[in-house]
A and B are shown apart, each in its own frame.
Chain A
Amino acid sequence: MATGDTVLTDDSLLRRPEGLGIALTVPWYRSLWLSSVSSIAVAVEGRPIPAEDLRVELAGRTYAVAELPEQWDTLWFIQDRLVVVVPLDEPAAEGAEVDVEVTVDLRLPYMQIAPMTYVTNHAANRRTLAVR
């Protein structure tokens, strides 16, 4: 499995007053419950952003990354985008080219390999994209 290259799309980078929004596609073939997201890591211009500084938005709700594993009743539909909001000292301007790397680790809830152990999917994608 190697759907990692689908996490970021050409239109992933969004202007946000807090810094930068990054729209992510679920790196799997189907919608998954947010509880399947084990972790999201972001680096901007090669600089890792602490996970506790990130906010995740889906369908009008906002979560900390650490809260995602508890969200077993919220679906991340494969044509919807999860927006990770990254705080930056200087918000990224429209048209600016920004180098971002996003890593999403999933736990696949129907592929159990041992009691309470599930197949994982590790998706890492690094691209330089224009902010929209």
Chain B
Amino acid sequence: MSALGTPVQGVTLYSFTRWFHGRRYSFEDLVREVARRRLGPGLELVGFQSIKGFPDVAPDFVGRFRSLIDETGLVPTALAANADAGLRRDRMLTDDELVDYMRPQIAVAAQLGFPVVRVQISLTPDDMERLLPVAEQHGVKLGLEIHSHQHPKHPDIQALLERFEKLGSPYLGFTPDWGASLRAVPSTLMRKYRDAGIDERLLTRLEQIWHEHHAEGPPLTQEQHGRWFGQVVQLAHQHGASDRAIEMAVNITGLFGHAPAADWADVLPWAVHTHGKFYEIDAAGDEPTVPVAEIIDLWVRSGYSAAISSEWEGFHWNDWENPFDVVAGEQALIRRSAEAAGSRIVTDPAEARGLLGTPVKERI
């Protein structure tokens, strides 16, 4: 039995998308606000969100970012990269092009001091193997995100796991996203639909169908997921919500995953970073849709001591709550859950830096 893990508290700026989008905060002010509200020490960014021109960053940005980190005492945890295989309309990027597309994103992460790059499922086991020397060169770990509708037992994830085990490198691993393990549909989304005048019978059916899918278990094939998607589209059409059909299907079958929390055990030894995805915090301080206590118990018992970025995705529809407050609510729940599991969450920046490490450039 491994020693109990002590995960590092953190947040991704993704949680504050709505206010960054709306120009309520500049990038620098958003980072300062995260520090002021003690939502760190861990700080994660989405490259294509926070940095103009990413991955071609302006020459002075690296210096400005490093000064901002010094000023705020935050600790860079992960830079989220994107694998835009569908960049062109005429064809998909070739494997060579996709690997080349990822290269500068990994290099920028190292320059900015991020020890992990979140990468996405468009990358195959072969792509990951080809990116390993790039990761080694820059001394950053690649954490392939396991995001709903994918899940730990999905054949694509199992194929990656098999490759990681074969290669045995500390530079290749996963970024589990808790959205793959929901237990309910967010009530805030239902409220938003209700306020928009969506037929109450459709809302009831959407929740029912989500629970039917839940009983079936997380999808193992594209066909199964396609069938679910089609069911939701059809329901929306039947209830006069054709204009929302795709959006509802993406939400119900794409975002709110069905994997039992215990399924994560397989991949946790390879987890280099975590997205603590959540949607809402209730009056009792619990997260009704994500089984946070159960998940944290598993993470701690597996010896996980990397970062957990609180990732609030409710902003897509929830424009009435303060994103900083809901993130603080999830972080309190995570801390309580770690204590209940006999461990603790690291909030001290120096201790966090010691656990996460920093990129070691040009190792090879």
Query: In whole Å, how far is A72's beta carbon from the nearest beta carbon of chain B?
Result: 5
Do residues A109 and B54 form an inter-chain contact, with CB atoms below 8 A?
no
Given contacts A75-B53, A114-B222, contact A70 B89 (CB under 8 A): yes
Given the known A-B contacts A3-B316, A112-B122, are A77 and B85 also in contact in the complex, defined by CB atoms under 8 Å?
no
Contact (Cβ within 8 A) B250 A29: no
**Contact partner of B89 among A6, A35, A80, CB < 8 A?**
A35
- Chain A residues bordering chain B, tally (CB within 8 A): 36
Which chain B residues numbered 278 to 303 have a C-beta less than 8 Å away from chain A?
none
Interchain nearest-CB distance for B297 vs A (Å): 30
The answer to whether A69 and B85 touch across the interface, beta carbons within 8 angstroms, is: no
Q: How large is the interface on B (under 10, 10 to 19, 20 to 34, 35 or more residues)?
A: 35 or more
- CB-CB under 8 A from B52, the residues of chain A are 31, 77, 79-80
Q: Which of A6, A30, A69, A80 has the most CB of B within 10 A?
A: A30
Residue of A2, A35, A78, A108 near B317 (CB, 8 A) is A2
Taking the complex as formed, is B71 at the interface, i.e. its CB lies under 8 A from any CB of chain A? no
17 contacts between A and B (CB under 8 A): A2-B192, A2-B251, A3-B17, A3-B21, A6-B18, A6-B22, A9-B22, A25-B21, A25-B22, A29-B17, A31-B54, A35-B89, A75-B54, A109-B85, A109-B87, A110-B120, A110-B122
At the interface, yes or no: B46 with Cβ under 8 Å from chain A? yes
A109 contacts across to B, CB distance below 8 A: 82, 84-87
Contacts of B251 in A (CB 8 A): 1-2
Determine whether the beta carbon of B89 is less than 8 Å from that of A29. no
Q: Does A120 contact B (CB under 8 A)?
A: yes
B interface, CB within 8 angstroms of A: 14, 17-18, 20-23, 46, 48-49, 52-54, 82-89, 91-92, 120, 122, 192, 222, 226, 243, 246-247, 250-251, 254-255, 316-317, 319
- Establish whether residues B243 and A124, one from each chain, have CB atoms under 8 Å apart when the complex forms: yes
- Distance from B211 Cβ to chain A, minimum over Cβ atoms (Å): 21
Bound CA–CA A112/B17 (angstroms)? 23
Q: Nearest CB to that of B317 among chain A residues?
A: A2
* A18 on interface, CB distance cutoff 8 Å: no
Q: Are A110 and B84 in contact (CB under 8 A)?
A: yes
- CA distance in complex: A75, B57 (Å): 13
Instruction: Check if A35 sits within 8 Å of B87, measured CB to CB.
Output: yes
Contact between chains at A107 and B21 (CB < 8 Å): no
CB of A33 within 8 A of CB of B84, answer yes
For window 104-132 of A, CB contacts with B under 8 Å fall at 107-110, 112-116, 118-122, 124
